[in-house]
Structure 1
Amino acid sequence: MVGIMRSVLVLCCVSAVLCQQPRYETLKDGRQKITLKSANLTEEEQLSQHMPGTLKCDACRIIAFQLMTRFNTEHKKRKSVIAKRGRLAESDVLDIIESICKDDNEVFDNVGVKAINGQTHLSGPGLETENFPGMMQGGGKWPGRLKEMCSMYTGDIGEEEIYKAFLKRINLEDFLCWGIDEMAYCNTVKKQMKLNKKGKNEL
């Protein structure tokens, strides 16, 4: 048993726990110890039915990524329609957005929270944090919070306006998250964490 214990990494974290950036320590016998400290969620992050204010920028970027991805996919599938009409039918646009924001789907099921450098961030497709070292806690209220926020964007801005921005080759993250609208939540974040491909943080 001792031999087995010595042959594996020592992990100070379990899969259901949020963790910060790993701290690496080389032991005397050459093994590497990885310590992942658990993060503390605020009461709002734990209990609220709505997206916590501190995570709305991350959430907006995830939503924008999903919309961009689906529009690009449908344009590639329907090249003849796009070549003829220059755009998707309005009913198709509504169906696409509804399939992301309203339907009982799995679009946001692989999104969760991860503690990075002592701060809680969303982690999932469209964010650099997805590849940042650490454990992620997904499921729970996060998919529902994202769908609610997605519906807020389409309700306040409108499906057609979002699609028109896409047709103008405007990055939907810039349009939704960094614009001048009161729902452009990334403008309220004083310092945005940017992570390079190696997972090192840069402010």
Structure 2
Amino acid sequence: MKIPHLSWIFVALCLCVRAEGDIDFVDTETEEDAEAALKCDACKIVASKFAEAFADIQGSLKPTISPKDEEIIEAAEGTCDEAWEGYGVVLVEGVERLAGPGSDVKSTKVMLEDGIWSRRLQDMCDELLGEAPDEKTLYHTWASGGLLEEYLCRGEGTFGACSAGNWGPWPGDEYDDYDDSAEFEDIHDEF
């Protein structure tokens, strides 16, 4: 019985073996993302904005009373609808970092504001909110002790901007209307 693909199997095995049984494995290590610190900063800014919105709706209530579901949803979705102005890149100890309202990045260097950050922050906000089980989960995570940044930025997958060396592309980068050089004109894509 003739086996037609036996020669291909032999060729494949030969390609994997370098010398006397040494197997050549493909390097699966991912490269470090040059913008990893910026993505982490952006996630922390988004988390601080969610926390600020939840504090605003909780502020008028007694600490033992939770806001209505509609108020929580409105606060979370309203956060992503913000203009996200006043953000830019600064150089801190040789690393580009994102600074602006809600950022823990402090720098005496002049901040270069760039319109791209409005879009990136808004898209990241939409991405995080869209991947969360629901708005109430975010609210209860915040209300239970302020671990919202930990939940949104130091987890896995979408929630791992601060825990992954290569988190992935910026949310929105793959859309045709997304252009780093274009001015952000209050366009908000719904996901």
Question: What TM-score comes out, normalization by structure 2 length?
Answer: 0.61
Residue pair 1:57, 1:186 contacting (<8 A) in 2 also: yes
Q: Are 2:156 and 1:177 aligned? A: no
The percentage of counterpart residues that share the same residue type is 27
**Separation of aligned partners in 2, 1:96 and 1:188:** 28
Of the three residues 91, 97, 102, the one matched with 1:121 is 97
Count of aligned pairs between the two proteins: 133
**Separation of aligned partners in 2, 1:98 and 1:120:** 29
Residue pair 2:53, 2:75 contacting (<8 A) in 1 also: yes
State the 4+ residue runs in structure 1 displaced beyond 6 angstroms.
Answer: none
Aligned match of 2:121: 146
**Match runs of 1:1-203 below 5 Å:** 53-79=36-62, 83=64, 86-101=65-80, 103=81, 105-106=82-83, 108-129=84-105, 131-157=106-132, 158-189=134-165
**Separation of aligned partners in 1, 2:156 and 2:116:** 28
Residue pair 1:65, 1:125 contacting (<8 A) in 2 also: no
Q: Any gaps of 5 or more consecutive residues in structure 2?
A: 1-33, 167-191
- Gap change, CA 1:155 and 1:182, over 3 Å in 2: closer
Q: Which has the larger radius of gyration?
A: 2
Question: What TM-score comes out, normalization by structure 1 length?
Answer: 0.58
Question: In the TM superposition, what is the alpha-carbon distance from 1:182 to its structure 2 partner?
Answer: 4.3
**Separation of aligned partners in 2, 1:98 and 1:164:** 15
Q: Any gaps of 5 or more consecutive residues in structure 1?
A: 1-44, 46-51, 191-203
**Separation of aligned partners in 2, 1:65 and 1:189:** 22
For residue 70 of structure 2, what is the amino acid of its counterpart? S
Q: Structure 1, residues 100-141: CA drift from partner, whole Å, max 9, x if none?
A: 10x2x33x2021111222221100233332x31101112411
Residue pair 1:113, 1:137 contacting (<8 A) in 2 also: yes
Residue pair 1:115, 1:134 contacting (<8 A) in 2 also: yes
**Separation of aligned partners in 2, 1:75 and 1:91:** 13
Question: In the TM superposition, what is the alpha-carbon distance from 1:53 to its structure 2 partner?
Answer: 4.8
Question: In the TM superposition, what is the alpha-carbon distance from 1:169 to its structure 2 partner?
Answer: 1.8
